């Protein structure tokens, strides 16, 4: 047995190969959850896994597991991984870097002839992004809860209206002949995920590795104002019930107050829709998505109440109705001290300069933290840019991250 080393060339080549699946003209990827492209990426990784003699499984949420057997197969596995689904105009590294780094580490262990005491499994979580089907992290949440939440089967895709269950079952069926099937959820000894920071701190501070100690909270609201469509030319002001006027008035104030008055809050309207969408008809409906984030649950409560109140006032002022539904409510989490300390020891052993940080983005590790001791490693990305086709990670940062990830996996295996 030799000392395991990641292969820089192999990892970089893999990143390029997966970036080609769903590649967009702008240099990013569109590989949204449970689409043909997502299935293509899963099939590619499955073929690579089987070529290495790893066993491959999927569960009822199409989460994909690649298993290196341990000397004692009965022990709960060390689980490492991330996601392969992307934003519609996403980057090549969000999710893919963590997934392919985990796979590279599995190959490095195999190359070195390492047979760990406990199994090590790479996992590809289904629908981390939540942009095609809300909520995000559907795969990891169902895994931790042990069942698929009621109502998900009838969810419709934002892009093409496809039914979630049809897409889920088609994705499972596409791989079924080649992989095993397992029930949702299983004991996990610990979970580790590498991801790009999707923020500017590591690059600005020239630190190659972030040790992530927690994830801030996230809430998504779907807002729908309903008024009365009418003729644009003949309807005087006092007869109008214009839902778009209500929406824009509320948003104008929320943009002017939520983030300016709460430095750590993040308030985003990513999607807006108006019907019937005719140039000369007052809208019938005006709706939008709201993504609200903050590290503290009590502040999230206060800001959510503020948003709901302002939307209701705007509806009343324009004599329209407003419906608000919450589709995501991810409480802030703090990762397990023993996993974080293992990462700190690994950084010392590997000679990596690090900084502790919490994640502004949500990740599957947020859900795994409720199931097994979990933590994350961040690598810098250019200008902190993500959810953008220009997302970029320098090769040397991908490689340093993989080396830190390998050292961390070995440290965890020695402790578990």
Is there a contact between 306 and 238 (Cβ–Cβ < 8 Å)?
no
Nearer to Mn ion, 58 or 82 (CB): 82
Q: Is 4 or 199 the residue whose CB approaches ligand HGY more closely?
A: 199
β-strands 285-294, 266-268: how paired?
Answer: antiparallel
Let me know: does 166 contact 158? Beta carbons within 8 Å: no
Q: Are 288 and 272 in contact (CB under 8 A)?
A: yes
389: contact with Mn ion by CB under 5 A: no
Does 332 bind ligand HGY (CB under 6 A)? Our answer is no
Closest C-alpha to 297, from 324, 336, 255, 264: 264
For ligand HGY, which residue has the nearest CB? 361
User: How far apart are CB 267 and ligand HGY at their closest, in Å?
Assistant: 14
With CA atoms as reference, report the closest residue to 145 among 257, 39, 59, 54: 59
Q: Among residues 36 and 266, whose Cβ is nearest to ligand HGY?
A: 266
The entry of Mn ion, ligand HGY, none that residue 167 binds, CB within 5 to 8 Å by partner kind? none
Nearer to Mn ion, 95 or 360 (CB): 95
Other beta carbons less than 10 A from residue 304's beta carbon: 18
Total residues at interface with ligand HGY (CB under 6 A): 5
Task: Report how far residue 190's alpha carbon sits from residue 342's, in angstroms, rounded to the nearest whole number.
Answer: 11
Residue 136 lies near ligand HGY (rule: CB under 6 A)? yes
Candidates 106-114, 128-136, 158-166, 401-409: pick the segment binding ligand HGY (CB under 6 A).
Answer: 128-136
Q: Which is nearer to ligand HGY, 250 or 361 (CB)?
A: 361
| Residue 107: CB minimum distance to Mn ion, A | 22
Q: Which residues of 154-175 are buried (b: 16+ CB within 10 A; e: fewer)?
A: ebebbeeebebeebbbebbebb
**Identity of the residue, 362 or 392, whose beta carbon is nearer to ligand HGY in the bound complex:** 362
Task: For the CB of residue 121, give the shortest distance to Mn ion in the complex, in Å.
Answer: 19
Strands (E) in 266-361, as ranges, are 266-268, 272-275, 281-282, 285-294, 321-330, 333-334, 354-359
User: Of 164, 267, 362, 405, which one interacts with ligand HGY (CB under 6 A)?
Assistant: 362
Please state the closest distance from residue 233 (CB atom) to ligand HGY, in A: 42
Q: Which does 362 bind (CB under 5 to 8 A by kind): ligand HGY, Mn ion, none?
A: ligand HGY
In the list Mn ion, ligand HGY, none, the entry touching 95 (Cβ below 5 to 8 angstroms by class) is Mn ion
Binding partner selected for residue 226 from ligand HGY, Mn ion, none, CB under the kind-specific 5 to 8 Å limit: none
Verify binding: residue 361, ligand HGY, rule CB under 6 A.
yes
Q: What's the min distance (Å) between Cβ of 70 and ligand HGY?
A: 31
Minimum gap (Å) between residue 119 Cβ and ligand HGY: 28
The minimum distance between CB 264 and Mn ion, in angstroms, equals: 20
Q: CB neighbours (10 Å) of residue 372?
A: 18
> What is the rounded distance in angstroms from the CA atom of residue 189 to the CA atom of residue 78?
5
DSSP for 63-80, written as a single string: -EEEEEPPSSTTSPPEEE
Residues 38-97 that bind Mn ion (CB under 5 A): 94-95
Q: Residue 94 Cβ, how far from ligand HGY at the closest point, in Å? A: 6
CA-based end-to-end distance of the chain: 21
Q: Tell me the longest C-alpha to C-alpha distance in the chain.
A: 83
Rounded to whole angstroms, how far apart are CA atoms 77 and 83?
18
CA 182/CA 62 separation, integer angstroms? 10
CB of 9 to ligand HGY, least distance (A): 28
Considering the rule CB under 6 A, would residue 318 count as an interface residue with ligand HGY? no
- Per CB under 5 A, does 121 bind Mn ion? no
Take residue 113 and report the two structure tokens written for it: 């002839």
Residues that bind ligand HGY (CB under 6 A): 128-129, 136, 361-362
Interacting residue ranges for Mn ion, rule: CB under 5 A: 94-95
């Amino acid at each position: 047995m030799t000392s395991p080393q990641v292969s820089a060339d192999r990892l970089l080549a893999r990143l390029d190969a997966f970036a080609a699946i769903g590649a967009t003209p702008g240099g990013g990827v569109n590989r949204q959850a449970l689409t043909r492209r997502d299935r293509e990426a899963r099939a590619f990784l499955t073929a690579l896994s089987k070529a290495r003699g790893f066993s491959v499984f999927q569960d009822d949420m199409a989460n994909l597991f690649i298993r290196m057997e341990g000397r004692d197969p009965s022990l709960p596995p060390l689980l490492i991984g991330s996601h392969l689904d992307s934003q519609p105009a996403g980057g090549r590294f969000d999710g893919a870097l963590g997934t392919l780094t985990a796979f590279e580490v599995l190959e490095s262990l195999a190359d070195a002839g390492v047979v760990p005491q406990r199994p090590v499994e790479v996992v590809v979580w289904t629908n981390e992004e939540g942009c095609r089907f809300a909520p995000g992290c559907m795969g990891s949440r169902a895994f931790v809860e042990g069942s698929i939440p009621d109502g998900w089967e009838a969810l419709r895709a934002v892009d093409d209206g496809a039914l979630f269950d049809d897409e889920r079952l088609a994705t499972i069926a596409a791989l079924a002949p080649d992989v095993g099937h397992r029930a949702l959820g299983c004991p996990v000894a610990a979970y580790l995920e590498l991801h790009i920071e999707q923020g500017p701190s590591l690059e600005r501070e020239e630190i190659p590795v972030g040790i992530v100690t927690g994830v801030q909270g996230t809430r998504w609201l779907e807002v729908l104002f309903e008024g009365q469509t009418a003729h644009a030319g003949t309807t005087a002001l006092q007869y109008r019930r214009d839902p778009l006027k209500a929406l824009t008035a509320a948003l104008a104030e929320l943009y002017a107050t939520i983030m300016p008055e709460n430095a750590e809050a993040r308030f985003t309207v990513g999607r807006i829709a108006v019907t019937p969408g005719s140039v000369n008809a007052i809208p019938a409906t005006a709706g939008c998505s709201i993504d609200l984030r903050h590290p503290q649950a009590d502040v999230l409560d206060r800001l959510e109440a503020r948003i709901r109140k302002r939307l209701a006032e705007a509806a009343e002022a324009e004599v329209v109705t407003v419906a608000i539904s919450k589709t995501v409510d991810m409480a802030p989490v703090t990762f397990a001290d023993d996993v974080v300390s293992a990462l700190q020891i690994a950084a010392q052993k590997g000679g990596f300069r690090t900084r502790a940080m919490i994640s502004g983005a949500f990740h599957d590790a947020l859900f795994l933290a409720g199931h097994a001791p979990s933590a994350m490693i961040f690598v810098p990305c250019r200008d902190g840019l993500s959810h953008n086709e220009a997302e970029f990670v320098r090769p040397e940062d991908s490689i340093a991250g993989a080396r830190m990830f390998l050292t961390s996996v070995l440290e965890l295996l020695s402790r578990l």
